[in-house]
């Protein structure tokens, strides 16, 4: 199976279960440790961003991973209103409450695309396999 799809209910999220499913998928496809860490952290950070910044409008987040020949593509869709955000140029200081997740995604992924959809927001992350 070259694809994994998870529908995460924000009212009942179990981070460990999400982590275990993604980890198992990446291990099955031979993704090395550092890249597994990067992918999982970016996915969990994006889910956390929805929970933190849109708690009243978010219900379910769909996370889809595709194992392609040369890269891993991650699509994260939610039903919140799209907000155009730019990642900071430098990592925000520890005392600043926001921005590190976006900065990490931009640093660790080869491609980060954010766009509005009819139903909400679509985040696409892509990382070339080592």
How confident is the chain (130 residues) per 10-residue block, as mean pLDDT?
90 84 96 97 90 78 96 94 79 80 92 92 95
The two three-digit tokens of residue 14, written as one number: 């179990």
Q: What is the pLDDT of residue 78?
A: 92
**For the chain, how many structural domains are there in total?**
1
Q: Enumerate residues 6+ apart whose C-beta is below 8 A from 118.
A: none
Burial class of residue 123, CB neighbours in 10 A (0-12, 13-18, 19+): buried
DSSP 130: -
pTM of the model: 0.89
Helix (H, G, I), strand (E, B) or coil at 106: helix
Q: What is the pLDDT of residue 53?
A: 79
CATH code (residue 77): 3.30.565.10
Domain residues for 87?
3-128
Instruction: Give, for 53, the enclosing helix (H) or strand (E).
Output: helix 33-53
């Amino acid at each position: 199976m070259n694809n994994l799809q998870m529908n995460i209910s924000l009212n009942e999220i179990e981070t460990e279960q999400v982590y275990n499913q993604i980890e198992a998928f990446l291990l099955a496809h031979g993704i090395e440790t550092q890249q597994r860490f990067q992918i999982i952290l970016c996915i969990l950070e994006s889910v956390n961003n929805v929970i933190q910044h849109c708690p009243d409008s978010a219900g379910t987040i769909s996370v889809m991973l595709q194992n392609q020949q040369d890269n891993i593509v991650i699509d994260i869709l939610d039903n919140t209103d799209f907000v155009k955000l730019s990642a900071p140029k430098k990592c925000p200081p520890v005392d600043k409450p926001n921005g590190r997740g976006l900065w990490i995604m931009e640093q660790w992924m080869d491609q980060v695309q954010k766009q509005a959809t009819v139903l909400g927001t679509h985040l696409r992350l892509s990382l070339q396999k080592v």
